[in-house]
Structure 1
Amino acid sequence: MLKKFQQALVKREEDGILRTLKPQSKGVDFYSNDYLGLAGNKELQLELLLQIQENPELLSGSSGSRLISGNSSKVTEVENYIAEQHQYSAALLFSSGYNANLALFSALPDRHDVIIVDEQIHRSVHDACRMSHAKKLKFRHNDLEDLECILQKQTGHCYIAIESLYSMDGDLAPIQEIAALAKKYNAALVVDEAHAFGVFGYGLIEKYQLHHDVFAAVMTYGKALGAHGASILCNETVKAYLVNFASPFIYTTAAQDFLWAAIQTGYEFLKKNPQLLEKLHRNINIFRNQNIQTPSSGLSPIQAVLIPDNQQLRNLQRALSDKNFLTYAVYSPTVKAGTERLRICLHSFNTEKEIVEMAEIIGGFV
């Protein structure tokens, strides 16, 4: 058995796609999801430190799952706060967005249902579908005609799974049009707002006021909020059903109350500091003005630069690293051959000088 594992690892190394754990690098950050800089924001850290000093019990372990001993008054308070902020009747907190998606798609659809997913949906949704007894179908990325064609052929109940902002191409879903299709065919629309939350205020559901058209939404807090964890926004019936039937919720030890407190404090910090969002979008505009060709949205902090050759992509990333720019390269077969790309993440704390210098290096390779 170990020989089989070793052979698989050797094959990955030969293909140049072996994953290894590395210490955090020092340099100009163009690769993290810390879009608003909250992960290292000193003012926010001080607020959290003061909360701990005033309430050191926030650091106590939860001692069990939320159905046994881990359902503190703090987690209930924060769930009610989140639901109110997003104009949903209920919210259910999880330790990660991955677990939230596992809970949703493994518990809600049954063997008579169909889950229709965008082909670029996050891996967590695909993994959840494997745990479900429902049938999974894929529609072409952001293709409304393909989605409707699939919906027309279904006889049972359907769930539609999309992201509002996709992390690989940095493009936006036509969320209003998809919501209209879901309504037309009486399908339940589930939207993952992992990369849109914080970048577009509370996300695209709020931006377009789609609360009544989106059956459930996932908000994750390890990106723009600089924290950890996630929430599912839904109605009280769905929340009660998940509490009763979602294994990732039932069988997980609850997080410390400090995690829930950090999430609530992050929400309040976002409201008090709108300039962070303004700086982020100013930096996105600066990058877009450098005339680098990209399939990404002009509003997205994720900007993909296609370099359709693994070796050329390695050369570009090495050239950027030599100048202390930290970027993330995505090689085939992780993506289809010919669609290899440099994935650039822009932040509120990047300077115009850094963005222009990075773009100049990229320009020499495209």
Structure 2
Amino acid sequence: MSNVLHTMQQKLADRAAQGNLRQLNTTAGLTDFCSNDYLGLARSETLRAYIKAAEQKYSHLPLGATGSRLLSGNHPLFEELEQTIAQYHLGEAALLFNSGYMANVGLLSALPQRGDTVFYDEASHASMKDGLRLSFAKSYGFRHNNVQDLRQKLKFATGQVYVVVESVYSMEGDMAPLQELVKLCQDIGAALIVDEAHAVGLYGEKGEGLTVALGLEQQVFAQVITYGKAMGAHGAAVVGPQVLRDFLINYSRAFIYTTGLPTHALVTLKCAYALLPQLHAEREKAKALAKRLYARLNHIAGVRCTPDGSVILSVMLEEGGTAKLKALALFLQEEGFDVRPVLPPTVPEGRERLRVIVHAYNTMEEIEGLAKAIAKGI
């Protein structure tokens, strides 16, 4: 036991010495430039009222699923919601998972078979990489958003080929070149899998995500739709062919051996989907505010902000490294702005940044205030 404790303590001490020790913090009362609640649904009184009314309709269902869906945990609300999800994202079928992490792990650990090959964008979420580690297929990373590098890596391909990307990247905030990727996958017979976690709600006429916004739903093999961001809820779904749903029910251990989502989570998702088409003004406001902040920050000496056109902004300092970045984040919190640093190993060494999220409920005054605070704090 003492050896185990010593090992853990040493690992934590090593991370602390590097300035990268993670800790849980609360920052109540600060202006939110941190959360993924892009459209404000997590704090929406309208959504709360929808949920309260809908819960009466489903009051006959148990509070918890009571077991995995293959045993006691399935009921008609699951099936009804999955049909809604599939139709909304223009897919044939959908299967719910308990989180975006579990959806990616459950899909990518089960689908690629021994002898197959998966190519993934190096900036892809940790859940996608973890799923691939559990797969028997070979996997290779390609440089972020670099289709030419992907083409060169195809020399390693055997069996069925899969290409795995995010539509909007959670750290970089930029978009995958989905049209180019679709064409490449069609040329070589590869299946394209797109994680829409940070695009759902923001892109598409009804917030369906970037795949649907670009009219690529027939060319993308599977979409992973995550609900803890713009949807203000919990859980995730894999959207794709009916045979994929059937396959995951039979082979995805993350689905088979997990208790189903509780009824309240399902009702919340049902109501969020009912409200999402009405939020066009919120989508446009968040993007307009982000564009203003992007322009303001790139006029501050010593600051570089990327990308243009995203509500997820990476704010990098030209000098000072991790220590200066952490000090700036602390200063901004003292000034009333909830902004957090993102440090290695979450991002590569030398790519430390403030990850600034702009929301529909932010104001132009808050945008200007944050820009002035950053200029003052560097």
Decide: shared fold, TM above 0.5: yes
Q: State the partner residue of 1:72.
A: 75
Q: Deviations over 1:125-156 (max 9, x none)?
A: 11111111111101000001001111244232
Change in 2 beyond 3 A, CA 1:30/1:291:
closer
Structure 1 consecutive aligned stretches of length 4 or more whose deviation exceeds 4 Å: none
After superposition, where does 1:132-211 map in structure 2 within 5 Å?
132-200=135-203, 201-211=207-217
Tell me the CA shift for residue 54 of structure 1.
4.2
Q: Deviations over 1:273-332 (max 9, x none)?
A: 322112212211221231426463322110001125111112211221111100110124
Q: Distance in 1 between matches of 2:355 and 2:99?
A: 23
Q: Deviations over 1:62-120 (max 9, x none)?
A: 11100011111000000011111111110001110101001111001111101101001
1:277 to 276, 279, 283: 283
Q: State the partner residue of 1:249.
A: 255
Q: Deviations over 1:138-186 (max 9, x none)?
A: 1000001001111244232111000000111111111111111111111
Tell me the CA shift for residue 241 of structure 1.
0.6
Structure 2 counterpart SS, 1:304:
strand
After superposition, where does 1:287-306 map in structure 2 within 5 Å?
287-292=293-298, 294=304, 296-306=306-316
Q: Distance in 1 between matches of 2:275 and 2:101?
A: 25
Change in 2 beyond 3 A, CA 1:155/1:270:
same
Change in 2 beyond 3 A, CA 1:306/1:213:
same
Q: Distance in 2 between matches of 1:87 and 1:97?
A: 19
- Relative to the length of structure 2, the TM-score reads 0.93
1:26 to 26, 29, 51: 29
Aligned residue-pair number? 366
Structure 1 counterpart SS, 2:60:
helix
Q: State the partner residue of 2:358.
A: 346
After superposition, where does 1:206-225 map in structure 2 within 5 Å?
206-225=212-231
Work out whether 1:317 is the aligned partner of 2:320: no
Question: Which runs of no fewer than 5 residues in structure 2 stay unpaired?
Answer: none
Q: State the partner residue of 1:327.
A: 339
- Contact between 2:116 and 2:137, CA under 8 Å: does it hold in 1? yes
Counterpart residue identity of residue 270, structure 1: L
- Contact between 1:205 and 1:211, CA under 8 Å: does it hold in 2? yes
- Contact between 1:171 and 1:295, CA under 8 Å: does it hold in 2? no
Change in 2 beyond 3 A, CA 1:53/1:320:
same
Work out whether 1:14 is the aligned partner of 2:13: no
Q: State the partner residue of 1:265.
A: 271
Counterpart residue identity of residue 300, structure 1: S
Q: Distance in 1 between matches of 2:348 and 2:131?
A: 23
Q: Distance in 2 between matches of 1:30 and 1:219?
A: 23
Q: Distance in 1 between matches of 2:153 and 2:55?
A: 51
Tell me the CA shift for residue 365 of structure 1.
5.5
Cα RMSD after superposing both structures: 1.5
Change in 2 beyond 3 A, CA 1:192/1:114:
same
Q: Distance in 2 between matches of 1:77 and 1:144?
A: 38
- Relative to the length of structure 1, the TM-score reads 0.96
